[in-house]
Amino acid sequence: MGYPLFNNYTLFRALSKPVRINGNAGHHGLDELKFERENVLRALGQFKLFAFLLHDPESHPEFDAYLNHVFSELDIMTGERLLFFALVNPGRAWLERREQLPFHQQVRRFEHTASQLNIEPLFTSDPSASAFALAWALGIPADDLPVLIVTTNLQDRNYLCASTSVHKLKDQLNSLSFISRMRKMENVELSNELMMIQGFEDIRDYQQTLEIPYLDSSLADTLSSVLSFVYCAEKINDWEYRSARLQVEKVLNNLQRKMNRRKSELEESEVTFREVENIGVQIGNLISILSKRHYEEDTLLGIHKNLLEKDSWRMLTTAMNVRDYLNRNHRIGSHEMTSGDFSPAAICFAKFFEREVNLSFVHWIRKYLGVHLPRYFDRYEPLLNATYLPDNMGYADPNPVNFNQGNYNNWRPPSLGQSRICVDSISRKEVFETNFHYARMNVVREFVHQWRELKEIRNSAAHPRILSHTELEKMVSILTEMNHAHIFRSMHEMKSRFRI
């Protein structure tokens, strides 16, 4: 059975925590709302497996068109023991059919009781922003989409994930439907079962390598938290909107407190910049949904969209949204400690830049060190030592930098600061001057200097201090100047050369 993910804020909120209403909620009252919630939970008991299809409509237009076309067919095909959710806007035929099914009727009654209104289907003006935020919150790299997420329990924080496509989707859902008619099993047992089925060869538990923290403690909590932003961005001012708005404030406040706590630990523990960055990007993704601004133009900061990776462009638009939001609101949520702090915007700008430099200048060094391109472009090459020693920078005891860290196919680039030092170092050597053909040496020298300034602002954003509007605008100015010097075009040429 299929269900549009956008329509399920109320449902996931019911799953994630007990329902609370105030005295002004309406004539239905608290008892009826609790009664309908228990009915929904009982109705969900008929399902043995739950699945989520997560994709970016902009990056995967063929998959998006296919999924919307076959959604009603998949809904019928998957039976009554598998419930799958998808980022689709269902057609009229599905909307009419759902009114005849007991499960849908029960969810509809609960939604109606919760909001006190006849709820129309919830659509989103920017489904890509929603997909990006959901993927980030679940710890799934945007490059891995589209994916099929599977769990035996929505109130568990563990889940399994496999790649999917137009050619695999039907068979994958058919297999899940068959398994759902068997006995109840845990995720570990399910993983072993799926690994033997064609189409699930790459199934894995993201929790084993998750760097990015969940918003809350369970899958339902995470989905409820992200979808509360979609609801607030798109819905009319009903009771459920007010409830979602409170959850939005709570999520943003919790994330900001977590970020401040991590910042305070940076100098006293081994907490890395990446943890603070991940929280900052999550804040940015959620604000992008709330802002409802969808950039239609092909250039931002003068940088043409075609020069950037798709996920880099999404991160740049996220950074622009956070910058605009903070210019208007001056704080995240209702958190007083965020007043005048532009750290989340700076972190998003830095992440977009880091992604581009990792696939260009850093890959030039990887190729120089013997990484086989294009086979291992943006991938870890097994059994290869690719370290560089910046021994001409005046350091008393320089540390070697590993340009081939990772496991399986997952490559982990050096830090932004390590990469800058190595590019600065190698650019001073003859091998660079005779083999680097993408920009003049004076441009590279100035770029390395700008890179250092940008990194220092990023570092300030990750420390326990308020990052000012002036500092953020300095970062924006640096990126604009880089573009005027054709740096992003040079990066594009490098990426194009190394990946083919």
pLDDT tens-place string over residues 42-68: 878 888 899 999 998 888 999 999 999
Which pLDDT does position 294 carry in this prediction? 65
Same structural domain for residues 209 and 340?
no
If one counts the domains in the chain, the total is 2
Establish if 118 belongs to a structural domain: yes
Beta bridge partners of 49: 82
Torsion sign (Cα): 373, 378, 379, 384: positive
Same structural domain for residues 196 and 324?
no
> Is it the case that residue 188 has pLDDT exceeding 70?
no
Terminal C-alpha separation, the chain: 42
Torsion sign (Cα): 10, 146, 141, 438: negative
Establish if 117 belongs to a structural domain: yes
381 within 8 A of 365, measured Cβ to Cβ: no
Establish if 123 belongs to a structural domain: yes
Tokens describing residue 303: 């940088």
Establish if 289 belongs to a structural domain: no
Angstrom CA distances, 248 to 35, 233, 322, 333, 376, stand at 26, 11, 15, 8, 41
Establish if 458 belongs to a structural domain: yes
Instruction: Name every residue whose Cβ is closer than 8 Å to that of residue 148 and which is 6 or more positions away in sequence.
Output: 51, 52, 53, 54, 161, 162, 163, 164, 169, 172
Establish if 262 belongs to a structural domain: no
Tokens describing residue 412: 């982990």
User: Residue written as tokens 């979602």?
Assistant: 244
- The band of 39, judged by pLDDT with boundaries at 50, 70 and 90, is confident
Same structural domain for residues 327 and 198?
no
Angstrom CA distances, 170 to 18, 176, 181, 369, stand at 35, 10, 17, 43
Same structural domain for residues 215 and 323?
no
Which pLDDT does position 492 carry in this prediction? 97
The closest alpha carbon to 110, from 217, 11, 238, belongs to 11
Torsion sign (Cα): 322, 253, 113, 3: positive
Tokens describing residue 438: 């993408």
- Of the listed ranges 173-177, 213-217, 364-368, 370-374, the least confidently predicted one is 213-217
β 401-402/410-412 pair status? unpaired
What is the DSSP secondary structure assignment for residue 398, as one 8-state letter?
Answer: P
CB atoms inside a 10 Å sphere around CB 396: 4
Same structural domain for residues 321 and 225?
no
Establish if 85 belongs to a structural domain: yes
The closest alpha carbon to 436, from 354, 405, 376, 445, belongs to 445
Peptide bond into 374 cis (omega under 30): yes
Same structural domain for residues 31 and 133?
yes
User: Residue written as tokens 């880089």?
Assistant: 482
> Is it the case that residue 19 has pLDDT exceeding 50?
no
Compare 115 and 497 and report the one with higher pLDDT.
497
Which pLDDT does position 265 carry in this prediction? 76
Angstrom CA distances, 121 to 8, 36, 50, 221, 270, stand at 10, 20, 21, 21, 47
- Show the domain range for 355: 295-500
- Residue at which a domain ends, from 203, 231, 259: 231
Which pLDDT does position 25 carry in this prediction? 46
Average pLDDT over residues 125-147: 81
Establish if 405 belongs to a structural domain: yes
Rounded to the nearest 10°, the torsion over CA 115, 116, 120, 121 is: 20
pTM over 0.85: no
Same structural domain for residues 30 and 152?
yes
- Residue at which a domain ends, from 231, 247, 275: 231
> Is it the case that residue 385 has pLDDT exceeding 90?
yes
Which pLDDT does position 207 carry in this prediction? 61
Same structural domain for residues 220 and 303?
no
Same structural domain for residues 125 and 220?
yes
What is the DSSP secondary structure assignment for residue 217, as one 8-state letter?
Answer: S
The closest alpha carbon to 149, from 163, 139, 166, belongs to 163
The Cα angle at residue 373 between residues 370 and 375, in degrees rounded to 5: 120
Which pLDDT does position 125 carry in this prediction? 61
Same structural domain for residues 329 and 227?
no
Return d(Cα 124, Cα 230) in angstroms, integer.
7
- Residue at which a domain ends, from 231, 254, 287: 231
Same structural domain for residues 128 and 24?
yes
Same structural domain for residues 69 and 170?
yes
- The band of 133, judged by pLDDT with boundaries at 50, 70 and 90, is confident
